[in-house]
Amino acid sequence: MEARLLVVVCRLVLEFLLQAESTRVELVPEKIAGFWKEVAVASDQNLVLKAQRRVEGLFLTFSGRNVTVKAVYNSSGSCMTERSVGSERDAAGEFAFPGNREIHVMDTDYERYTILKLSVLWQGTNFHVLKYFTRSLENEDEPGFWRFREMTADQGLYMLARHGRCAELLKEGLV
């Protein structure tokens, strides 16, 4: 009985390690730069999903080891933007931002989708959220969405992002 349990535990650990290794992305900044529309969010923290300001879109630009993220939010019907500059950490695809925030590129095909893990340390607690983005304003049912669903199956809380005009304005360069 104990031997069987040990085998099951070893298999689970091995599967976890293989999955963690498969999420390592060799990031090419020039390819991931540009517009991204937020489509879905997953977290095991209800607080993260109930945030008042929800991102509709991002515009990423790179300069050396730094990334500038221009995020657009819908705030009571008005489009608000926020810029933040982060620096690449030692691991490719991981960026640190002021305010104990981090972004890790989990998966991307550069042309249609990207999956980001955002982490923030707030009041002594680490909060994590996985976000699914597309380049398209219309088509969300890409292969990346199914990859996102696989990666977030154990999250517990899951939601699709709201659709709004702020992402459209960001893509057009109007905000």
User: What DSSP state is assigned to residue 22?
Assistant: H
What b-and-e string marks burial along 25-47, b requiring 16 or more CB atoms within 10 Å of the CB? Answer: bebebeebeebbbbbbbbbbeee
Output the pLDDT for position 58. 94
Q: Dump pLDDT digits (tens) for 60-75.
A: 999 999 999 999 988 8
Q: What is the pTM of this model?
A: 0.78
In a domain, 92, yes or no: yes
In a domain, 112, yes or no: yes
In a domain, 44, yes or no: yes
In a domain, 3, yes or no: no
In a domain, 17, yes or no: no
| CATH number for the domain harbouring residue 59 | 2.40.128.20
In a domain, 9, yes or no: no
Output the pLDDT for position 163. 67
The domain total for the chain is 1
How far is it, in rounded angstroms, from Cα 169 to Cα 51?
Answer: 22
Output the pLDDT for position 13. 31
How far is it, in rounded angstroms, from Cα 81 to Cα 74?
Answer: 9
In a domain, 7, yes or no: no
Backbone angles phi, psi at 158, to 5 degrees: -155, 140
Output the pLDDT for position 157. 59
In a domain, 78, yes or no: yes
Q: Which residues of the chain have pLDDT under 70?
A: 1-25, 46-52, 140-141, 155-163
Range of the domain at 88: 27-171
